[in-house]
Structure 1
Amino acid sequence: MSTPAVSHAEPPRLATVQLACRRAGRLLFQALDLQVPAGQVVWVRGRNGSGKTSLLRLAAGLVAPEAGQVLWGGVPVREGARAGARPAFVGHAHALQQDFTVTQALQFLLRLQGGPSDTATVHGALHRMGLQGHRETPVRSLSQGQRRRAALARLAVPEPAPLWLLDEPYDALDADGIERLNALLCDQLLRGGSVLLTSHQAVDLGPMRVGEIDLDGYH
């Protein structure tokens, strides 16, 4: 397990302090100190049921911890959310409206995210994910891999969120989809963004350093 180095110029984009998580009466992890500074991706590993998805939901401020804190830029996560700071959270479920076209579904997600959602922005993002031929296709007609690409397209917009929380983003992607996602991740790091993601497969971004944390060590 490796922990990314911390810049002393500013607080880490995301940090947890002695974080503990309990679900359905079971303690999933405890005493977790994690830092995700600007320009860093951290890969969360662990067996099924170790709390990987729960960690992302805690980081997004969607649920409260059993103990400890989640900080965004040194500020408690829920205070940051009230101030308008929000990460881009892409869960394992694609969250696309089944009866919408791909364009309409992505526009809806971008509005929720608080970013630009005009037609040109949406079509540019779909093109980057290789979905330019499916802009008017109903979501219900897409394959699982295409739905995953459409969900990830919210990251392919100008000036995306500085912090990404991604739950199994590689799931159902073919080789081309993986290459496109890795390009998005590399661009995010080059502009000083941060990424916390879960994955059952190794995360290889070439020369970009990937930090790792294994939740199996925090029971």
Structure 2
Amino acid sequence: MTLTASDSPVAAGSPLLSVQGLCCERDGRPLFDGLSFALNAGCAIQVMGANGAGKSTLIRTLIGSVSDFRGEIHWRGQAFPAGLPSMRAELLYIGHNAGVRRGLTPLENLAWYGATEKEAFEALAAVGLFGFEDLLCRQLSAGQNRRVALARLYLPDPAPLWVLDEPLAALDVAGVESLEARMRAHLENDGSLLLTSHQPVNIPALSRIDLADVQAPCEDRFDDAAALAGQVRGTACEVHHG
């Protein structure tokens, strides 16, 4: 099944990220197979699946941290691995682990990413960490450390592609609402978003991929060219299996 927002002005252009027939394994066990989708500017896709279904493996494959896969990945029409450096130059990635240096303060963590002191103060205030800027991150809670990582989304000139692995984890209700508002603003500015989440995400026209729909063994697809049937829910971007 293919879903296309034909009435959207950005959907008609070339996708930023496109995936065709992607198959990944872990320890010799197929995680998913025949996954294809296109992510356009202004669009968002949520990857869903049970624990162990391969959500994080898919994310790491798309950012080039996992090279053992079959299928094709293109960034702005250029196939991996040649297109990988260009994609990384336009990528903001936050993994399931916050990636915060716990021996540094929130200000120092953002400075490591090139933020000025003023920019870091404003970004930390935006995620509710006013007054915590000079504490060591090891003194902060899990939710506060998640906010330190997410403060990167509030720095000036954000990258066009955001790839976020479980960004809502450990956030309270106010933190979730703030992050959803920031993601909506990013999409309105023609940014694109790929995220995993077990929780509902309040973003209009969000497409969803459920990895449970693409779990046939890899060898089955390469021995048989027939497309895999699957369910896809969404309206924003092109997503299909097979």
Q: Under a length normalisation based on structure 2, what TM-score does the superposition of the two structures give?
A: 0.82
Provide, for residues 140-168 of structure 1, a one-character-per-residue CA deviation record: whole Å limited to 9, x for no partner.
01111111111111111111010011000
Provide, for residues 73-101 of structure 1, a one-character-per-residue CA deviation record: whole Å limited to 9, x for no partner.
11224323434633111001111111101
- Larger Rg over CA atoms: 2
Instruction: Say whether the 8 Å CA contact 1:96–1:106 is kept in structure 2.
Output: no
1:91 maps onto 2:95 in alignment: yes
The one-letter code of the counterpart of 2:31 is L
Query: For the structure 1 residues 2 and 104, does the alpha-carbon distance in structure 2 shift closer, same or farther, using more than 3 Å as the test?
Result: farther
The one-letter code of the counterpart of 2:126 is R
Query: For the structure 1 residues 8 and 209, does the alpha-carbon distance in structure 2 shift closer, same or farther, using more than 3 Å as the test?
Result: closer
What is the alpha-carbon root mean square deviation over aligned residues? Answer: 1.8
Instruction: Say whether the 8 Å CA contact 1:51–1:215 is kept in structure 2.
Output: yes
Secondary structure, aligned partner of 1:134 = coil
The one-letter code of the counterpart of 1:22 is E
Long gaps (5+) in structure 1: 112-116
The one-letter code of the counterpart of 2:211 is L
Question: What corresponds to 2:160 in structure 1?
Answer: 162
CA distance in 2, matches of 1:77, 1:183: 32
CA distance in 2, matches of 1:122, 1:54: 31
Secondary structure, aligned partner of 1:79 = coil
CA distance in 1, matches of 2:102, 2:143: 15
CA distance in 2, matches of 1:4, 1:140: 45
Question: What corresponds to 1:217 in structure 2?
Answer: 213
Could you tell which deviates more after superposition, 167-176 or 80-89? 80-89
Question: What corresponds to 2:64 in structure 1?
Answer: 61
Question: What corresponds to 2:126 in structure 1?
Answer: 128
After superposition, residues 103-118 of structure 1 pair within 5 angstroms as 103-108=107-112, 110-111=113-114, 117-118=115-116
Residue 35 (structure 1) aligned to one of 31, 34, 38: 38
Query: For the structure 1 residues 189 and 8, does the alpha-carbon distance in structure 2 shift closer, same or farther, using more than 3 Å as the test?
Result: closer
The one-letter code of the counterpart of 1:5 is A
CA distance in 2, matches of 1:158, 1:93: 23
Question: What corresponds to 2:218 in structure 1?
Answer: none
Question: What corresponds to 1:114 in structure 2?
Answer: none
1:73 maps onto 2:80 in alignment: no
Secondary structure, aligned partner of 1:120 = helix
Aligned residues: 211
CA distance in 1, matches of 2:59, 2:41: 17
Instruction: Say whether the 8 Å CA contact 1:42–1:196 is kept in structure 2.
Output: yes
**Aligned-pair distance for 1:3?**
4.0
The one-letter code of the counterpart of 1:107 is A
Instruction: Say whether the 8 Å CA contact 2:39–2:192 is kept in structure 1.
Output: yes
Instruction: Say whether the 8 Å CA contact 2:47–2:55 is kept in structure 1.
Output: yes
Identity, % of aligned positions: 38
Instruction: Say whether the 8 Å CA contact 1:4–1:211 is kept in structure 2.
Output: no
CA distance in 1, matches of 2:196, 2:85: 26
CA distance in 2, matches of 1:44, 1:147: 23
The one-letter code of the counterpart of 1:130 is G
Residue 175 (structure 2) aligned to one of 171, 177, 182: 177
Secondary structure, aligned partner of 1:132 = coil
Moved over 2 A (4+): 1-10, 76-86
Q: Under a length normalisation based on structure 1, what TM-score does the superposition of the two structures give?
A: 0.90
CA distance in 1, matches of 2:147, 2:186: 17
